[in-house]
Amino acid sequence: MGEEYTLTAKGGDIDLGDAVYQCETITLKIVNGNATLLLAGTTQGEVPVDYPFYLAGEMNGWAPNSQDYGFSLEGNGCYSLTFDEAKTFPANTEFKITDGTNIWYGSDNMEGYKLNSNTVYYLNGGDNAKLAEEIVCKKILFIDYSGTHAVYFLTENNVNSLYIVGPAAVGEWAANNGVKLEYNQETGHYTGTFTTTADNQDFGFARYLTESSGSSDFNVFNALRYGYTENATVEVGVPALFKDFSNVDNNNFALSAPAGTYNINVDFSNKTFTVTSDEEPAPEYPELFIIGNIREANVFVPNDGEPLTVVSEGVFEIEDIHVYAGKDGYGYFAFTTDLGRSDSDWEYVNSHRYGPEEEHYPIEEDIPAEIGMHGDTSFQIADGTYDMTVDLTKGFITVTRSDGEEAGVEELAGNEVSVVAGDGEIRVNGNATVSIYNVCGQRIAADSNATSFSVPAGIYVVVANGKAQKVAVR
């Protein structure tokens, strides 16, 4: 018999790369030079997240990398920590922000400079920061932008703040001045009015304002600002896209309109907004082009498209346009009010692009589908020639096969999976990953393994294991 050695030690958390395991005892057994690691009483635990920054202080025993107090990148030098339920921090609670190792951001004057809720607090020193009052906090922001470090403790009624800022709104660019928009909890939209004092003035959006307007304040302000490209033109009545500034200054909108009072409606979830006027009629809709797999070479580029014919205000049509399928058996297309200047000019085209709400939405023949400004999304359809009608006033598109073949996506085949529509129900027989879309292009089920779905009466597109089928529910 060979040599055998056994060493048993008290267990704990064991990180094996793919997961963390908690065990009662760890045994190392060596027989004839071959080692075996035995874990007794093993359960799999959560893999810790390596957050970029953490809140450390009296609320968590100054733990430098507490999983409950990790900040996630929100964009543009802004990091956020959101609590599921509002958390109460007592007055005089001391804290710092840390990267979890050897970098700590604190106050330069703990006793004379204390933090209140919903106000910016600059972390310029090594002393502990301190709360001036009890704060019932829903979200904390940490700003790490252009050498400035600051923190916001936000109460629940300030989490969803949004301001329109800049000369068009308040006559100047100021970090502490803007028009606060009203938030609708049900729709998720922000609305308000602003008055310009000159023609074609610039503006942007900011989540929060500062108390003053110095250089450090502008660093915080820019980390919380939204725009698109430098002086992107916004037409009254025409939806426009916006995004965070991504550390680039001067990316503002230029309102192409005379001085006056305007309404604004911002859909922050889709990063779109529309400026309207009660005094001036909305302008005529511009040209509309179809882009996508519409050439035999089957290349989807932003600077190549076919114009649609204007039928009436905001209504366009195109006849006998061929959509070519790629390797997956489908062709893809969208629309834009302006073509790009080169084959890589996607940022510009996507800011003028109309498509479905969901990427690669499978459109069906003669069933109106929702269309809007959703950025980088496309419709999916089988290879063929089509007539298309786009109504931007109502937000719908209809396609009809013009070559005598049946339009739409490939029907489900074989006996392994079948889809049955009943009274208020869609049933899937067989093992399948299922997504379901209504006629407006809205996804009502995503990558589900369920076999029964309760839905209102109507027409639906069911995509099971990548194949689609149209069904009618009574």
Per-residue pLDDT of 445-454, as tens digits, reads: 888 888 888 8
Long-range pairs of 226-229 with CB within 8 A, sequence gap ≥ 24: 226/271, 227/251, 227/252, 227/253, 228/253, 228/351, 229/347, 229/348, 229/351
**Model confidence at 1, in pLDDT bands (50, 70, 90)?**
very low
How many whole angstroms separate alpha carbon 12 and alpha carbon 27? 12
Concatenated DSSP letters for 200-256? T-EEEEES---SS-SHHHHHHHHHTEEE-STTEEEETTS-EE-EE-TT-TT--EEEE
> pLDDT (tens digit, 9 = 90+) per residue, 371-404?
999 999 999 999 999 999 999 988 899 999 988 7
| pLDDT at residue 235 tops 50 | yes
What dotted CATH number matches 289-401? 2.60.40.3620
**Model confidence at 413, in pLDDT bands (50, 70, 90)?**
very low
**Model confidence at 2, in pLDDT bands (50, 70, 90)?**
very low
Write out the E strands in 111-177: 121-122, 129-130, 135-145, 148-154, 163-165
**pLDDT for residue 80:** 92
In this structure, what is the dihedral angle of CA atoms 434, 437, 441, 443, given to the nearest 10 degrees? -60
**Model confidence at 45, in pLDDT bands (50, 70, 90)?**
low
> pLDDT (tens digit, 9 = 90+) per residue, 290-337?
999 999 887 899 999 999 999 988 899 999 999 998 877 889 999 999
Fold category of 53-158 in CATH? Immunoglobulin-like (2.60.40)
- Whole-model pTM? 0.53
Contact between 169 and 203 under an 8 Å Cβ cutoff? The reply is yes
| Average pLDDT rounded to a whole number, residues 180-190 | 91
**pLDDT for residue 470:** 77
Please tell me the least confidently modeled range out of 108-112, 264-268, 296-300. 108-112
Long-range pairs of 62-68 with CB within 8 A, sequence gap ≥ 24: 64/98, 64/100, 64/101, 65/98, 65/100
**Model confidence at 145, in pLDDT bands (50, 70, 90)?**
confident
Fold category of 163-276 in CATH? Immunoglobulin-like (2.60.40)
Look at 462 and 273; give whichever has higher pLDDT.
Answer: 273
**Model confidence at 408, in pLDDT bands (50, 70, 90)?**
very low
